Chains A and B, each alone.
Chain A
Amino acid sequence: MKMTMTQKILAKHANLEFVEPGQLIMADLDMVLGNDITTPVAVNEFNKMGINSVFNKEKIAIVPDHFCPNKDIKSAEQVKFIREFAKEKKIPNFFEVGQMGIEHALLPELGLVTAGDVVIGADSHTCTYGALGAFSTGVGSTDMASGMATGKAWFKVPEAIKFVLKGKLNEDICGKDLILHIIGMIGVDGALYKSMEFMGEGVKTLSIDDRFTIANMAIEAGAKNGIFPVDEITLEYINEHSKKPFEIFKADEDAIYCKEYIIDLSEIKMTVAFPHLPDNTRTIDEVGDVEIDQAVIGSCTNGRIEDMRAAAKVLKGHKIHSRVRCIIFPATQEIWKQAMNEGLFEIFIDAGAAISTPTCGPCLGGHMGVLAKGERAISTTNRNFVGRMGHPESEVYLASPAVAAASAILGKIASPDQV
């Protein structure tokens, strides 16, 4: 019986020898995650179940990162409510401002998710941990509540699309360009209900940060999860960050995939997604003249140390265009410290950029960089829907940190070699 990597992880967690696409299973959960927007709803639903204790307090993580540090009284009340829940249930993995980071950068950094895990999170970008060879997927608040109560979740076993990566990305091209290229190719529902399984010789040329970015945006193609095989690079990251036991799953050689794409990494160009869908992509040479008002560098997609370095490499010795507000937000306190120690903040500040504490704020138009009517932003975040970063008549263009930094300098969407 042949299975994909995702199917093998799900089978193991459902105590089954074999699972097949379409099969409904109950799987054991290794981690249940929520944030300050989704957890309040989950706590209310949890309380309705008439269950007193959570299934395992070590296997729950609550990260108030969206409207934090709190932007208004209502969001402060929401965090107060979940803080009290975490305290009452003695959940150790509640992260206060000061320890908090953007959830999908924080959990891997703290070693709370690892290879072979099954993870659900009440946040759509929970699929990020596929970079570590875990099955992880976004769910809603009621699923989070039921996960906290029972330690289980129901899944329909997904079919898989195979992405065979060959070659190597050129200099200044990164994981963001690759995943935007893929979404542009297959569409925002191109992987609906399916898993995106990355494999091939090219994988070993991708850094762990690139893999996080790629798995993070699997949801933007509608996928249930995105997943990478575990190799030397994964093991190095896991050994550095996690003490949890882990298990390496490998897809069977002759596993069945519903579709297969072969991608030559050396052919990937810098890619930008135009409003208002992530699949509306153009390569940098097709962009034309697009003036911008704001550049946002950070988020669960591109707020890691390599992203900070890529932005600094372009910004070094340059000034942000007088019309542009450039906001840089490293995703965790640890990344913040590392960027500071590497001298990147001096480059950012000298260029005229603002550096923010970790928050999801600007990505979803919450706070710390909301757009006015008619304004345009280039952003290293993951969505460019209508009104995503503010006014319904504002526009968001998605790109890599290098392109966002170059655009901030020139005041229009540009590639680093134009700087």
Chain B
Amino acid sequence: MKAKGKAIKYGSNVDTDVIIPARYLNTSDPLELASHCMEDIDADFVNKVKKGDIMVALNNFGCGSSREHAPLAIKTSGISCVIANTFARIFYRNSINIGLPILECKEAAEKIEEGDVISVDFDSGIIINETKNETYTAKPFPPFMQEIIKNEGLVGYIKNKK
């Protein structure tokens, strides 16, 4: 599995309330959620995001609420992958469970800048910054999580194990 797109960059502690504000949680419709994605820290996000783009952030991405609406809004907005130095643990679980690829990589999180063209190979964890001509390596997923990802999330994993 591979992804390629332009980087959209944020800082540390991007919380679930700014990824998808609670005032929009009276629905679970993915398209409606995506239309408000990142609204409170980056009002322009929904206009600039293109299918395949890659979200990059520093520490503790997705901290706060357990709302699965957050990774769902990001995924539905067209983002193909999120790269950060660290993720908040519930966001991490939720992303794996719904099939939003995420990678932990300190070097990529620090060096990638807004607009850089990035390609990612999920099997090897290799991240290539085509703009800067740099290569970074993310921690690979443990085999157990690879199984969940292969089944496109936890629901597929359980269905196929039944």
Chain A positions within 8 Å of B, measured between CB atoms, are 24, 37-38, 40-41, 44-45, 48-51, 66-67, 71-72, 74-75, 78, 121-124, 126, 138-143, 145-146, 149-150, 154, 188-189, 192-193, 219, 222, 224, 277, 364-366, 370, 383, 385-388, 392
Contacts and interface: CB of A to CB of B under 8 A. Distances in A.
B64 A385 contact: yes
A386 B18 contact: yes
A145 B86 CA distance: 26
A50 B159 contact: yes
A364 B17 contact: yes
B162 interface: yes
Interface residues of B, number: 41
Contacts of A121: 66
B38 to A, nearest CB: 11
B25 A154 contact: no
Given A72-B26, A192-B86, A49 B144 contact: no
B155 A45 contact: yes
Given A24-B144, A365-B22, A150 B66 contact: no
A27 to B, nearest CB: 14
Contacts of A222: 60, 63, 88-89
A370 B98 CA distance: 31
Tell me which of B18, B63, B98, B142 has the highest count of chain A C-beta atoms within 10 A of its own C-beta. Answer: B63
Contacts, number: 138
B162 A50 contact: yes
6 interchain residue pairs of minimum CB distance = A140-B94, A74-B26, A140-B68, A142-B97, A189-B60, A364-B22
B155 A124 contact: no
B47 interface: no
24 contacts: A38-B66, A41-B72, A72-B26, A121-B66, A124-B64, A124-B65, A139-B90, A142-B68, A142-B153, A142-B154, A142-B155, A143-B97, A189-B13, A189-B63, A193-B89, A222-B88, A364-B22, A365-B22, A366-B22, A383-B64, A385-B17, A386-B15, A387-B40, A388-B22
Nearest to A40: B28
B66 A146 contact: no
B133 interface: no
A37 B67 contact: yes
Contact of A41 (B15, B26, B68, B144): B68
Nearest to B143: A24
B21 interface: yes
Contacts of A146: 97, 154-155, 158
A387 B18 CA distance: 7
Contacts of A74: 26-27
A193 B25 CA distance: 26
Contacts of B106: none
B26 A48 contact: no
B77 interface: no
Contacts of A386: 15, 17-18, 40-41
B28 to A, nearest CB: 5
A140 B67 CA distance: 6
A189 B15 CA distance: 12
Contacts of B18: 385-387
A138 B27 contact: no
B90 to A, nearest CB: 5
B4 interface: no
A143 B15 CA distance: 20
A215 B41 CA distance: 29
Nearest to B98: A142
B15 A385 contact: yes
B80 interface: no
B68 A38 contact: yes
A149 B158 CA distance: 9
Contacts of A366: 22-23, 25
A143 B25 contact: no
A67 B67 contact: no
Given A74-B27, A224-B89, A383 B68 contact: no
Contacts of A138: 66, 90
Contacts of B17: 364, 383, 385-388
Contacts of A142: 68, 94, 97-98, 153-155
A24 B86 contact: no
B74 to A, nearest CB: 13
Contacts of B97: 140, 142-143, 146
A222 B90 CA distance: 9
A188 B66 CA distance: 15
A50 B22 CA distance: 30
A192 B60 contact: yes
B59 interface: yes
Interface in B17-36: 17-18, 21-23, 25-28
B13 A141 contact: no
A49 B158 contact: yes
Contacts of B88: 189, 192, 222
A351 to B, nearest CB: 29
A90 to B, nearest CB: 22
A41 B30 CA distance: 10
B153 to A, nearest CB: 7
Nearest to B17: A385
